[in-house]
Amino acid sequence: MNKTKNRSYFRRLSRYYLWFTACLGLFLVALTILENEGMPRQWIGHLYMFATIVLYAIIGVVARTSNVSEYYVAGRRVPALFNGMATAADWISAASFISLAGTLYLHGFDALAYVMGWTGGYCLVALLIAPYLRKFAQYTVPDFLAARYGGSEGTGGGDRGNVVRALAVSATIIVSFTYVVAQIYAVGLIASRFTGVDFSVGIFLGLASILVCSFLGGMRAITWTQVAQYIIILVAFSIPTVWLSMKFAGNPVPQVAYGSVLPKLAQREAQLAFDPREQEVRARFQAKADEFSARLAALPQSWEAGRIEAQRRLDAARARNASLGEVRNAERELMAYPRTAEEAARAWTEQRAANLARAQPPEPHAEPFPGATREESDQRRNNFLALVFCLMFGTAALPHILMRAYTTPSVHETRVSVFWTLFFILLIYLTMPALAVLAKYDIYTALVGTGYDKLPTWVSYWANVDKANPLISIADINGDGIVQLAEIAIDGDVLTLATPEIGGLPYVISGLVAAGGLAAALSTADGLLLAISNALSHDIYFKMVDPGASTQKRVTISKLLLLAVAFIAAYVASQKPADILSLVGAAFSLAGSTLFPALVAGVFWKRANHQGAIAGMLAGFLVCVYYMLHTNPILGGSAESAWFHIAPISAGVFGVPAGLAVLAVVSLLTPAPSRESVGLVEHIRAPEEI
């Protein structure tokens, strides 16, 4: 009976979402007609933004709930396919949707580490963690760790469990908070770029839609919104890519088509590497870099001389009554001049590096680990491996992804749901490298070599969108009136956003891509905020502060905390914290080092005990943080002190083994875990009896 009920539920859901997709199609057609009738671009942007936000709000209102099980785990009746779709939307963050194609464009083979790492992580989720969490059938990740490593009574864990619980909650919050700030920041960026509203207004608009949805309906509302968001993401990403693929390879399946474009791209790269005009531009950048080297070598005298020179220019401009603009320029130059010799050293090193980077010929896109020497090439390979490793273990320990293992009707459905998750992620991720290659080919052949008087409109449009931090800038460095590759500086973000225009599609599609980016950011932010507020309300408040709280009170507290966390995150994002944003990649290493060893040992090693888990989590976390502080220049470390030349983002490559080793050693040195813990392990290992 249960089975037929599930099936009819599944059919009903499928019908709803098919209707939804059809409506989305109609909406696109209507907008295309309106654009042809002359509707201005800005209106289209506004329409997309409001239509999608209203849509998410409606789903939130329809799916509102204050039932504990519905609020925390969507009533555990989300069919595998839809759970997979929702997890995919949860997973595809603003960074994946907007920046990954650009990263692939800029870094070629090296960037494939992200594709491999982020997909391979799901093997670990499926094989080692998700099914067992579902069998455990509680609400959060800290729940599992506390019950497994506390072991005084039942699932509660008691006081001993609370130490583990507190550690797991802290890890959840640290990891999810950096991540959610980046999502909200992306919402602000997309909104301000496409609708022209102020950055902070964009943030609060996005916040409103996140809140209506997760505040009213918790996991249940989020799940159904995320499925809709995934459909928008998929449509938004496929239309322009399929179009580009038709245009350059005559084949509508980009994943297959770009194989034929790759050799042509390689040919073009080789040609550009030896083009005399390109070499001329590169020589100019080299000269500038050399100039900075000379100045750096002559510090601190060169700093003193530069300051006096800037002051002199300002005085001279004032003395000869130069135009206001000239005086202003000279003033600005003096203002921007480094205040101390140390500051000058830092600024000039950065500028030297930037110029040096632009003086290099393009690296062949498809060649693995190019390097001047074998050793350099080996270092790049090792870093690639380390990054893949960290991204995999990080994926397998991200609380907002693992939380979704609780929402399916059975353990079997959880296993199938991870399959669907990766399937839906791959629909996007396998297209990313294709998009990067196709766009690169277009830019290398169509844009490079045109005259500056005939620049395509998308270039000037995107160059002016964000004045402070231009997404694309082209300047005629050698003054020959023709675009050279070395004269183009591209920010990775522009690639996905500008693809429709690069391919010559109408603005409606650009708006759709922006809506897709918004959906990606909002869906991930939804999941993360829920992970944080559940950790606070369920694990801290209900399990540790007030275990006697009524279910009504628990849900209310959870909603209030969600509101508070959302506002704090939005406030932090509105400050544009560069340091937090650059640390998002590090969240993977942190999550992997802290949570992964305890989670896996919790299922697969009965002997792992309370002391071992605490020591393992602390050791993983500390090793990871120590390595980052030690080697990341932003955090005051230096790249020279890296171990085996491994980049700070891959700190998990030391953190995960350290966590595992310490967990094992401490567990073996301390008494075996209690009978309850062992019983729990046996329970979650046992198959379902349905």
Partner 1 sequence: MPTDSVPPFPPPSRERILAARAAHWSRARKLVLVLLGLWLATGFGTVFFARDLAHLSVFGWPLSFYLAAQGASLIYLAIIGAYAWRMRLLDRAYLRMLKDGT
According to the binding rule CB under 8 A, does residue 419 interact with partner 1? yes
According to the binding rule CB under 8 A, does residue 688 interact with partner 1? yes
- Least separation, in Å, of the C-beta of 276 and partner 1? 28
Phi–psi pair at 651, nearest 5 degrees:
-55, -25
Question: Which is closer to partner 1, CB of 123 or CB of 482?
Answer: 123
According to the binding rule CB under 8 A, does residue 356 interact with partner 1? no
- DSSP-assigned letters across all residues of 247-261: HHHS-S-HHHHHHHH
According to the binding rule CB under 8 A, does residue 678 interact with partner 1? no
Question: Among residue numbers 579 through 608, which ones bind partner 1 (CB under 8 A)?
Answer: 604
Enumerate residues 6+ apart whose C-beta is below 8 A from 26: none
Matching residue, tokens 């790269």: 269
Question: Which is closer to partner 1, CB of 165 or CB of 193?
Answer: 165
b/e per residue, 438-456, with b = 16+ CB within 10 A?
A: bbbbbbbeebbeeeeeeee
Interface stretch with partner 1, choices 32-40, 125-133, 193-201, 547-555 (CB under 8 A): 125-133
Task: Say if CB 92 and CB 233 are below 8 A apart.
Answer: yes
Question: Which is closer to partner 1, CB of 111 or CB of 212?
Answer: 111
Structure tokens given for 169: 């909650």
b/e per residue, 381-413, with b = 16+ CB within 10 A?
A: ebbbbbbbbbbbbbbbbbbbbbbbbbbbbbbeb
Separation CA 235–CA 574 (nearest Å): 29
According to the binding rule CB under 8 A, does residue 368 interact with partner 1? yes
Contact residue for partner 1 among 123, 322, 465, 580 (CB under 8 A): 123
Question: Which is closer to partner 1, CB of 156 or CB of 306?
Answer: 156
Question: Which is closer to partner 1, CB of 57 or CB of 396?
Answer: 396
Structure tokens given for 10: 């599944």
According to the binding rule CB under 8 A, does residue 88 interact with partner 1? no
Q: CA quadruple 186, 191, 196, 198: dihedral positive or negative?
A: negative
Phi–psi pair at 490, nearest 5 degrees:
-120, 135
Enumerate residues 6+ apart whose C-beta is below 8 A from 72: 139, 140, 218, 219, 406, 534, 538, 558
According to the binding rule CB under 8 A, does residue 1 interact with partner 1? no
CB atoms within 10 A of CB 372: 7
DSSP state, 488?
A: E
Matching residue, tokens 């309106």: 34
Question: Which is closer to partner 1, CB of 86 or CB of 418?
Answer: 418
Question: Which is closer to partner 1, CB of 25 or CB of 263?
Answer: 263
Contact residue for partner 1 among 57, 81, 186, 388 (CB under 8 A): 388
Contact residue for partner 1 among 129, 169, 392, 666 (CB under 8 A): 392
AA letter at 78: V
Contact residue for partner 1 among 208, 296, 356, 430 (CB under 8 A): 430
Question: Among residue numbers 97 through 116, which ones bind partner 1 (CB under 8 A)?
Answer: 109, 112, 115-116
According to the binding rule CB under 8 A, does residue 69 interact with partner 1? no
- Least separation, in Å, of the C-beta of 228 and partner 1? 24
Contact residue for partner 1 among 17, 337, 423, 605 (CB under 8 A): 423
Query: Where are any strands of DSSP class E within 4-102?
Result: none
Question: Which is closer to partner 1, CB of 152 or CB of 200?
Answer: 152
According to the binding rule CB under 8 A, does residue 367 interact with partner 1? yes
Question: Among residue numbers 131 through 170, which ones bind partner 1 (CB under 8 A)?
Answer: 131, 137, 154-155
Separation CA 114–CA 204 (nearest Å): 30
Question: How distant is the alpha carbon of residue 43 from its chain centre?
Answer: 28
Separation CA 397–CA 593 (nearest Å): 9
The H or E element that residue 472 is part of is strand 472-474
Separation CA 660–CA 404 (nearest Å): 25
Separation CA 177–CA 183 (nearest Å): 10
Structure tokens given for 666: 């401490």
User: How many chain residues are in contact with partner 1, going by CB under 8 A?
Assistant: 54
- Least separation, in Å, of the C-beta of 652 and partner 1? 15
According to the binding rule CB under 8 A, does residue 402 interact with partner 1? no
Task: Say if CB 426 and CB 96 are below 8 A apart.
Answer: no
- Least separation, in Å, of the C-beta of 230 and partner 1? 17
String marking each residue 249-288 x if it binds partner 1 according to CB under 8 A: ------xx--xx-xx-------------------------
According to the binding rule CB under 8 A, does residue 332 interact with partner 1? no
Q: Which residues bind partner 1 (CB under 8 A)?
A: 109, 112, 115-116, 119-120, 122-124, 126-128, 131, 137, 154-155, 255-256, 259-260, 262-263, 366-369, 377, 381, 384-385, 388-389, 392, 412, 415-416, 418-419, 422-423, 426, 429-430, 433, 604, 680, 682-683, 685-690
